[in-house]
Structure 1
Amino acid sequence: MGRKYFGTDGVRGRVGEAPITPEFVMRLGYAAGVTLVAREHLPHGEHPAVLIGKDTRISGYMLEAALEAGFAAAGVDVMLAGPVPTPAVAYLTRALRLQAGVVISASHNPFYDNGIKFFSAGGAKLPDAVEAEIETRLEEPMGCVDSARLGRARRIDDAAGRYIEFCKSTFPNELDLRGLRIALDCAHGAAYTIAPAVFHELGAEVLAVGVEPNGLNINDGVGATRPENLRAAVLAQGADLGIALDGDADRLIMVDRKGEIYDGDKLLYVIAAARAAEGRLEGVVGTLMSNLGFEHAVARLGVPFERARVGDRYVLEMLHERGWKLGGENSGHIICLDRHSTGDGIVSALQVLAALKQRGQSLAEACADLVFYPQRLINVRLPAGFDWRADRAIGAAAEAAETALGARGRVLLRPSGTEPLLRVMVEGQDGAEVDTLARSIADTVKEAVG
């Protein structure tokens, strides 16, 4: 049975339109609160407690108040962290021994979007069963406990400081960043005060951009989804390298001193190669979109590689299934389970920097063995109800392309999770061949849908 409100990363949408309205978010807080009360079985008189953090969108004030009201009505105490990265909420929820954490953020989306994402007491994404239980309660009328049992709210004044110290603790004690000139793009987002402090306190000279949020400019031409801004800053200021985060600071993109951009696949490889050299890498999880050249490079390290569905949630699930510690996406979500329970842009950047320091390499040198194959992605719009998997012509076109590529490439057809699109991706060693095959499959899909 499909879920009505929760997607792969919580509840998300345009502010003011269902489901991101004050009324719905208050009901969501109440439904989540009732679920927590029912599941926790705390001693009489004790309240479950949740942490609420947010990014810098102007709608965060409104949605924070609505969530707080809903939780209080369910008899749940609330701790307010203010603007902090999504992974900070995961860490603080675990460190403070709370029952759940909630993030108000739409990650890399524009300011007019927002969303609600939950973490469990252990700092991991909320299990599907709990999300399903919350959805069930959302269909029921909202109530309110009696006044003596209402939840209370208080602000955590040292939330940012606690998280800064946690991030620094993931960097080797024997190393520092002295002598490094780092351009840092915080996307006018949740890490705008935290990330500069982390790298500065580890010894780097920090040239910060994207650190002037006004509620409306988050991710606007800046951050991990717009690395050209970071590239320009690195070149203009003569930085040794650049680090870009997205609005909630769980993605990472980097730039070297020459302006070369390094995506999630390349940065994951830097970490993987360093850990493999130390004999402490059991395996790596990528996604269906990870470049085939990345897969082959990991194989040359003598390390197993597996592909999960697109989405850091699925990478995390596969890591737990395999008992491995390292995985990520080319979008910049990198998960180091020996450092944190979730993907974290700041922590991931520190792992890359530690690898470079330990091996005495630049980003270019660390990626010298990583050769990306040309990749062509074409989106084809599908009419409602069209079953592309059952279409013989589409299947035959994909099979013909796979035969032509052999072991030199691959074909991937997958539906978009948010739009009525079929994503046609072809990857191989020959760019011209890849482009021709992708166009051929896409044209077949277009003909099939009329």
Structure 2
Amino acid sequence: MSQERRYFGTDGVRGKVGQYPITPDFVLKLGWAAGRVLAQQGTKKVIIGKDTRISGYMLESALEAGLAAAGLNAVLTGPMPTPAVAYLTQTFRAEAGIVISASHNPYYDNGIKFFSAHGTKLPDDVELAIEAQLDQDIDCVESGLLGKASRLIDAAGRYIEFCKSTFPHSLSLEGLKLVIDCAHGATYHIAPSVFRELGADVIAIGVEPNGTNINDEVGATDVRALQARVVAEQADLGLAFDGDGDRLIMVDAKGNKVDGDQIAYVIARNEQRRGTLQGGVVGTLMTNLGMENGLKELGIPFQRAAVGDRYVMEALVENNWSIGAENSGHIILLDSVTTGDAIVAALRMLTAIAESEQPLHELTSGMTLYPQVLENVRFSGETDPLQHEKVLAAVAAVEVKLADKGRVLLRKSGTEPLIRVMVEGEDAELVQQSALDIAHVVKNNC
């Protein structure tokens, strides 16, 4: 990035509700500032979706008011997955889309992220223009030019049909028993219908949102409940989505977790077998070495990008490749969608299972994951602990122990005030202790 951002992180503006900048007054002005910038590009209509957080009602109203003050019309979808808003922005011929969500974060966080008319993240120059506009005093267009608000009643149905269209017509999910965990989030009224209508026997959990239970011991960030249910029901596999439906984590019939790296590997290998693989696979600095080695054995090119789906997307576009992934479960399939879409990724995995006639645990056996431990350390100080000499010394000491059989990565989260400490290597015990040792040093120097 050529210019420092004050509000936009790797995935929009995010924070704790009630604390700046996730306050009604700031979000109203953000809506106005975005409206002013987008209006200069000819924008008149914006799609607004949200997840199931209780704060979504408040923030939706504030955004709507800000956009209206700038003269833009708002089309409200209600609870809707992030990729659904990206899709609807294109098909409804809106000039922009906005999602009110903090994705995998707890209910007391929320955020605002924007999509262009093409269903992709806003270009850097537009985000920077919005930030510059926030420095201006808010004003209002003439009364006759104020924006209006309407509801897109059939938003869920449109997106369900789109998801189903990405699954081959020649295949069926009949005879397959699935447990689906919707994290009490935005997929709760969509995902079960998609898989049932394609023929699967669906057992749904995490489908009772109450405004405060999103991602609470359910979903892609905590698959323990899904693992237990898959085994108890003797299901073929489980699918876990996060709060806004852009992350997918799977569970095989034996109760084993299957992460984003493994999912991307299986999809890429099946696309290669079919002769439809476009280029290679983009991962991130967090991508497991096992995935990189597994793809290398198949002769599939691999490239690492910075952590964050926007950087994965940039690398995909630059290379003209179609498959990108983060091990957290963001799977981007550019031949079908414009952003990470958990339901579409799940259907692509089920396609691979059906075409190969192999269960999930066999499909993932082609790559061996290195033990990888991630420790999060809350960061609140003004000094940068990543540059502290004691932290650098601790990292160097671990790298000597790992030699060429592992790696260490420290980075600041782009969505939360955290330092993420990742250690990966062949020796699980050494990896675990090394991550704890470095995290301890970071915590003492924040």
TM-score by length of 2: 0.93
2:361 aligned to which of 358, 361, 364: 364
Secondary structure of the residue that 1:187 maps to in structure 2?
coil
Residue of structure 1 aligned with 2:383, choices 361, 382, 385:
385
Name the residue aligned to 1:307: 304
| Deviation for aligned residue 1:164 | 0.5
Check whether the contact 2:386–2:410 (CA below 8 A) recurs between aligned residues: no
**2:162 alignment partner, one of 160, 166, 171:** 166
Distance 1:16 1:163, change over 3 A: same
Equivalent residues of 1:410, 1:428 under 8 A apart: yes
In the aligned structure 2, how far is the partner of 1:366 from the partner of 1:20? Answer: 43
Match of 1:287 in 2: 284
Q: Secondary structure at the match of 2:41?
A: helix
Moved more, 24-33 or 435-444: 435-444
Aligned mate of 2:271, from 253, 275, 278: 275
CA 1:155–1:436 in 2, change beyond 3 Å: closer, same or farther?
Answer: closer
Question: Higher mean Cα deviation, 276-285 or 290-299?
Answer: 276-285
Alignment pair present for 1:412 and 2:409: yes
**How much does 1:387 deviate?**
6.0
Closer, same or farther: CA 386–196 of 1 in aligned 2, 3 Å: closer
What residue number does 1:6 align with? 8
Q: Is the Cα–Cα contact under 8 Å of residues 182 and 207 in structure 2 kept in the other structure?
A: yes
Deviates more, 1:304-313 or 1:382-391: 382-391
Report the Cα distance in structure 1 between the residues aligned to 2:248 and 2:128, rounded to whole angstroms.
Answer: 31
**Residues 259-295 of structure 1, C-alpha deviations (whole Å, 9 max, x = no match):** 1111111111111111122233211111111111111
**SS of residue matched to 1:13:** strand
Q: State which drifts further: 174-183 or 311-320.
A: 311-320
SS of 1:219 mapped into structure 2: coil
Task: Report the Cα offset of residue 139 of structure 1.
Answer: 1.3
Contact persistence 1:183–1:234 (CA under 8 A)? yes
Matched, 1:136 2:132: yes
Report the alpha carbon displacement of residue 446 of structure 1 after superposing the two structures with TM.
Answer: 7.4
Contact persistence 1:384–1:420 (CA under 8 A): no
- Structure 1 residues 388 and 20 mapped into 2: Cα distance closer, same or farther (>3 Å)? closer
1:183-262 paired onto structure 2 within 5 Å:
183-262=179-258
Q: What is the CA–CA distance in structure 2 between the aligned matches of 1:168 and 1:114, rounded to whole Å?
A: 29
Choose from 25, 28, 38 the match for 1:23. 25
User: Offset at 1:128?
Assistant: 1.3
Paired residues in the alignment total 442
CA distance in 2, matches of 1:422, 1:26: 30
Aligned pair in 2 of structure 1 residues 291, 107: CA closer, same or farther (>3 Å)? same
User: Where does residue 62 of structure 1 map in the other structure?
Assistant: 58
| 2:324 maps to 1:327 | yes
Change (3 A) 1:397 1:279: farther
Distance (Å, rounded) in 2 between the aligned partners of 1:58 and 1:144: 28
Distance 1:443 1:183, change over 3 A: closer
Letter in 1 for 2:11: D
Structure 1 residues 284 and 140: CA distance shift in structure 2, 3 A: same
Structure 2: gaps (5+ residues):
none
> 2-side partners of 1:39 and 1:398: how far apart?
48
Structure 1's unaligned 5+ residue stretches are 41-46
| Aligned-residue offset at 1:407 | 3.8
Matched, 1:176 2:172: yes
Match of 2:343 among 336, 342, 346: 346
In 2, Cα distance between equivalents of 1:112 and 1:379: 19
- Alpha-carbon RMSD: 2.1
Which letter maps to 2:382? A
The TM-score, its normalising length taken from structure 1, stands at: 0.92
Paired with 1:362 and 1:340, the residues of 2 have a C-alpha distance of 26
Distance, in Å, in 2 between the alignment partners of 1:219 and 1:394 is: 32
Letter in 1 for 2:335: D
Greater shift, 381-390 or 266-275, is seen at 381-390
In structure 2, do the counterparts of structure 1 residues 444 and 161 end up closer, same or farther at CA, with 3 Å as the change threshold?
Answer: closer
Quick one: which amino acid aligns to residue 405 of structure 2?
Answer: R
Alpha-carbon distance in 1 for matches of 2:375, 2:207: 35
1:389, distance to aligned residue in structure 2 (A): 3.7
TM superposition shift of 1:318: 1.2
Letter in structure 1 aligned against 2:323:
L
In structure 2, distance between residues paired with 1:444 and 1:229: 33
Q: Deviations over 1:379-437 (max 9, x none)?
A: 5677532464473x655654564455444222323334466655443322222443465
d(CA) in 1 for partners of 2:194 and 2:16?
Answer: 32
% identical equivalent positions: 60
Q: Is 2:11–2:414's contact at 8 Å kept on the other side of the alignment?
A: no
- Give distance in 1, aligned partners of 2:343 and 2:326: 16
Which deviates more from structure 2 when the two are superposed, residues 279-288 or residues 246-255?
279-288
Select between 206-215 and 195-204 the one with higher mean Cα deviation.
206-215
Q: Which amino acid is 1:156 matched to?
A: L
Equivalent of 2:79 in 78, 83, 92:
83
Q: Give the partner amino acid of 2:266.
A: V
- Give me the whole-angstrom Cα distance separating, in 2, the residues matched to 1:434 and 1:18: 38
What is the SS of the residue equivalent to 1:367? helix
Letter paired with 2:95: Q
- Describe the shift of the 1:444–1:75 C-alpha distance in structure 2 as closer, same or farther (beyond 3 A): closer
